[in-house]
Amino acid sequence: MPVTTEVAVRPVTVLADDGARLAAWVHEAAGGAGPSAPTVVLAHGWTLDHRSWDRVVGLVQQRVRVRVVTYDQRGHGASTLRGRRRRPRVQPSVRGLGDDLAAVIAAVAPAGPLVLGGHSMGGMTVMAYAGTHPDDVRARVRGVALVSTSAGELRGLGRRGEVPLMRTISRVPGVRAGRAITHESQRRLLFGTRAAPADVAATRDMVASTRLATIGRYYAALSAHDEAEALAVLADVPTHVLVGELDRLTPVSHARRLAELVPHAQLEVLPGAGHMLGYEAAEVVARHLSELVEEAS
């Protein structure tokens, strides 16, 4: 039964450690969150932005009175890739995204329990946060949803010639992917058997608006990603792992490995679905997040 239908969305700018500006949105439930409800913080995937969570956020807030935070990962959407502070340039990394998540949490949810959700690169971000901020996770995180993601070993999943291409575009400043991203390519790569044209179009628009340098540099970061050891931090945290049966980017085998590495994790494989579960199976993702919220409240 729906518990709330009106949500106030408040934009927030978060400064990362290096001064990068991270765009965030706080979705306040009508009448406020429940007195013991956690704050839900959601991290999106590579080449996407916070809008990829919009449908899920709406469904979660129809189920439970809870405050939800979404944000644009560094270099994606309205967030900058680097700050203006004079520091040695560091190549983008998933560990760095984990630190950005810590900055978002400190700015918009500095106290109280948390439920964290991550899709694709966002799930890797949550794992990196657990690895670099284990005490905070143990003290505050009451639930984790890992959606269409992986603990590592992503090399070899790309197409032939992809590595040199990504290396090249990582050095192209200021240019967005634009027309190089087609509707059909996104449908084939990211969706399963029941792709709604409007969902493919929304995904294509997000990818096309991403700068080539961001795409290339985070491709390298994802290739180097390995947070298998960090998953031990989640041993006592209720963790749900979701994957589409037809996911081509983070296949079912990666989800099964996650479920093996996190004691007591729940695994759900969604028949016919691909990588974009926030669109293809939004009701299922929202149900899992809502269950984590209810268990934490």
The answer to the question of residue 217 being in a domain is no
The answer to the question of residue 148 being in a domain is yes
Closest CA to 171 of 125, 208, 220: 220
Cα separation of 218 and 284, whole Å? Answer: 28
The answer to the question of residue 172 being in a domain is no
> pLDDT value at position 1?
45
Q: What is the pTM of this model?
A: 0.92
The answer to the question of residue 189 being in a domain is no
Q: Please give the single-letter amino acid code of residue 47.
A: T
CB atoms within 10 A of CB 244: 28
The answer to the question of residue 78 being in a domain is yes
Cα separation of 276 and 253, whole Å? Answer: 17
Cβ atoms of residues 271 and 176 within 8 Å: no
How many Cα atoms sit within 13 Å of 205 on the Cβ side? 9
Q: Kindly list the averaged pLDDT for each block of 10 residues, start to end, along the chain of length 297.
A: 68 96 94 83 98 98 96 97 69 94 98 98 98 98 98 71 65 72 92 96 96 90 93 97 97 97 96 98 99 94
The answer to the question of residue 183 being in a domain is no
Chain centroid offset of residue 108 CA:
17
The answer to the question of residue 100 being in a domain is yes
Cα separation of 185 and 266, whole Å? Answer: 32
The answer to the question of residue 57 being in a domain is yes
Cα separation of 48 and 73, whole Å? Answer: 9
Number of structural domains found in the chain:
1
> pLDDT value at position 80?
95
Which range of residues forms the domain containing residue 70?
Answer: 7-153+226-296
> pLDDT value at position 111?
95
Contacts of 193 (CB under 8 A, 6+ apart): 246, 272
CATH of the domain at 71: 3.40.50.1820
